[in-house]
Structure 1
Amino acid sequence: MEWTSVLAIYFLLWVFSAFILLPFGVKTHDETGEPKVPGQADSAPVNFRPGRILIRATILAAVLCALYVANYANGWITIDDIDLIGMPDRFKDMPAG
């Protein structure tokens, strides 16, 4: 696998990880009992820390990317393992690749 492919996969996993991690650990003013600023949305976080989310997303994406590359190299899970409905008969005689 080319290093540019690994970098692209890592970037995609990083973006997905960042969006997945955004809601975790967020508390609103109502949950903490702090006063709201006039005009503030009820769902606004009290203490938003984007740096912490970026670090967590970086670590999670690195682990997921390492697992992906290891699976690619070792072939632990292949397309045949996740093919739940089977290949149609018209494609069985076609050469692979």
Structure 2
Amino acid sequence: MTQAIFSTVAVYFVVWWITLFAVLPFGHRTQAEDNEVVLGTVASAPTKFRGWRVVLMTTLVSAIIYGGWFILTDYFGFSFDALPQIVPRYGG
């Protein structure tokens, strides 16, 4: 039971972390784009810090991805062992 919970949290954490880097650039406005470059910062720095929005969007998207993975593995029985049966092999 403990291993199943740990595995679930570990998989969700990996999905969340990968999703974070996919969601991060959406809606990003740089200081150069807004013509508000603050002295001592680079022009590519964000104009507004949107940390909570990024965390919320990452959590929402990763929950959808994880839910899809959970349904495919638990209810439909898909696994890495099933891939050779799904994907045909080419070659000799």
1:76, CA displacement in angstroms? 5.4
Q: What is residue 94 of structure 1 aligned with on the other side?
A: none
1:40, CA displacement in angstroms? 1.5
CA displacement 1:25-65 (0-9 Å, x = unmatched) = 0101222232x222211110000211110011111111111
TM normalised by structure 2 equals 0.78
- For structure 1, the 5+ residue unaligned runs are 89-97
1:19, CA displacement in angstroms? 1.1
In structure 1, distance between residues paired with 2:39 and 2:47 = 14
The amino acid that maps onto 1:56 is M
The amino acid that maps onto 2:62 is A
Count of aligned pairs: 86
Q: What is residue 51 of structure 2 aligned with on the other side?
A: 50
1:7, CA displacement in angstroms? 1.5
Q: What is residue 25 of structure 2 aligned with on the other side?
A: 23
In structure 2, distance between residues paired with 1:62 and 1:26 = 22
Of all paired residues, the percent bearing the same amino acid is 28
In structure 2, distance between residues paired with 1:71 and 1:87 = 29
Of stretches 5-14 and 70-79 in structure 1, the one that deviates more from structure 2 is 70-79
Which structure has the greater CA radius of gyration? 1
- For structure 2, the 5+ residue unaligned runs are none
Q: What is residue 40 of structure 1 aligned with on the other side?
A: 41
Runs of 4+ in 1 over 2 A off after TM superposition: 1-4, 75-78, 83-88
CA-based RMSD of the aligned residues comes to 2.4
Say if 2:55 is the partner of 1:59.
Answer: no
Q: 10, 13, 20: which one pairs with 2:12?
A: 10
Q: What is residue 89 of structure 2 aligned with on the other side?
A: 85
In structure 2, distance between residues paired with 1:44 and 1:21 = 17
